[in-house]
A and B are shown apart, each in its own frame.
Chain A
């Protein structure tokens, strides 16, 4: 009988402490980030889908279509082709298709590339209604960026690894 009474009192006391803790939490500030209105700071090594790197000097893409990344990718997401311009000793890339639906962001391509021609982008707002928005042609996108940047400012302003804080969804950059 004593054990039952002791159990009831300790049990009731544990209920009261439980409620004391939750009411304590009730008056503490909110810990969640209200996503559409506020966004978190993206860490430096964040792995978005890959993007081509622009050579600061010439403003062209560093990549010369050596296809090392294509071979390194476990799920064959990358198809690269380039053409040898006359006068240039190396090929230059003409199209760089990344099938982001199959990419598992393992980073084998970025590591395989010996010249640092591709790096992780900072984009995470990748919602889209149809699937082929995710077959991204990185080279065409690099061209647009170059055109849009050179258009307003005539001098080709070299943009170092710009932290793209404003999330741009691929939907607005034409995928085909």
Chain B
């Protein structure tokens, strides 16, 4: 873990290296003796290859500077040398935990530009699969977050439930994580009855499981002591850094793209946006747990009102040329607002594809939010931000 160059220089005499200095953390000047701790890029708590350069004074953090780029794949350049149909598989590899919503954004942007209206059944199935994907993403977050806090067992219970969702989605799309299920104008194939019945069973079986999670973890005194009033993030800080999703909803602002800019079939369902005013890690935790309940509600309503009919719009040109100009489409992914901007100059390959990902903005406020915090609390806060590193680096 020691930074390379430190090893080569001979360690200076001990008393001069650790003089007993006042531990005034970050307030006035930098304290007398700080040391740099490298958290990552290979570290169990960073869920991927994120490196955080922490200047520490004892256990307190003076400055935590995230360093990104370890898993950068230049997704936007790939966008510029692939046709719209060929770029679809890339969209589910930006944030592999909410692949459906990311493909939904890209497909939506192309449909908005080419003025193609997918049939209502396709819109409903897109909502059902996106919400299932949101639940599976929240379950992965819940398990990994508890793992960060030291509780090992909840991860296994969460993955047991998530397995049921993955089997359902695998039965209709063929893949477990990187589904390539949506097409411009609709879906690649229709859902079968086994999927619909399986989804109803899953929804019915998930509610008692959520009660068990609440009793086992949410009400646990150790967890509450670990999360309440830890890592307060104010609504103003969220606005300054453009943080969205459960982070801003945990600070009291109910911003959700499904309500702010209604898209697809969401206006036809009634669901609330859970918000908590405290802005600490516990608020962000409760927002996500409540969102699972809301997603279950949406899925149930969508299953009840699922219209019949085709799943593919009728006249979708084989080679798609979008009219010149730039078009945006934003969706509410599990981690926040994901927006695709396509600038086209009326060729079948886009001129520029811009991917606005939520985790980049959510992480950018970590440096300011973690000043003066303990190491263990800073990791708990980073866990509550629910980061997926390929989503930051693209």
The answer to whether A and B come from one shared complex is yes
Residues of A within 8 A of B (CB): 7, 10-12, 14-15, 17-18, 21-22, 25, 31, 43-47, 72-74, 104-108, 111, 120
Contact A18 B220 (CB under 8 A): yes
Contact A18 B216 (CB under 8 A): yes
A123 to B215, CA, bound (A): 42
Q: Nearest residue in A to B86 (C-beta to C-beta)?
A: A74
A44 to B189, CA, bound (A): 13
What is the predominant secondary structure among interface residues of chain B facing chain A?
helix
Q: Nearest residue in A to B219 (C-beta to C-beta)?
A: A14
Does B85 lie at the interface of the complex (its beta carbon under 8 Å from any beta carbon of A)?
Answer: yes
Q: Name B89's contact: one of A18, A45, A106 (CB within 8 Å).
A: A106
Contact B160 A31 (CB under 8 A): yes
Chain B: interface size category: 20 to 34
A18 to B224, CA, bound (A): 13
Chain A nearest Cβ from B87, distance in angstroms: 7
Q: Which residues of A contact B82 (CB under 8 A)?
A: 74
**Given A15-B220, A18-B220, CB of A105 within 8 Å of CB of B175:** yes
A72 to B180, CA, bound (A): 15
A59 to B73, CA, bound (A): 44
Total A-B pairs, Cβ < 8 A: 67
A168 to B157, CA, bound (A): 33
Does B171 lie at the interface of the complex (its beta carbon under 8 Å from any beta carbon of A)?
Answer: yes
A107 to B191, CA, bound (A): 17
Chain A nearest Cβ from B109, distance in angstroms: 18
26 contacts between A and B (CB under 8 A): A12-B221, A14-B220, A15-B222, A17-B215, A18-B216, A18-B220, A21-B215, A22-B153, A25-B157, A31-B160, A43-B170, A43-B174, A44-B171, A45-B171, A45-B173, A45-B174, A45-B189, A72-B86, A74-B82, A104-B93, A104-B178, A105-B178, A106-B180, A107-B188, A108-B85, A108-B86
A64 to B20, CA, bound (A): 80
Cβ < 8 Å to A, chain B residues 81-111: 82, 85-90, 93
**Given A11-B221, A108-B86, CB of A22 within 8 Å of CB of B171:** no
Q: Name B174's contact: one of A18, A47, A111 (CB within 8 Å).
A: A47
Q: Which residues of B contact A14 (CB under 8 A)?
A: 219-221
**Given A74-B86, A108-B85, CB of A21 within 8 Å of CB of B212:** yes
Chain A nearest Cβ from B217, distance in angstroms: 8
Does B68 lie at the interface of the complex (its beta carbon under 8 Å from any beta carbon of A)?
Answer: no
Does B313 lie at the interface of the complex (its beta carbon under 8 Å from any beta carbon of A)?
Answer: no
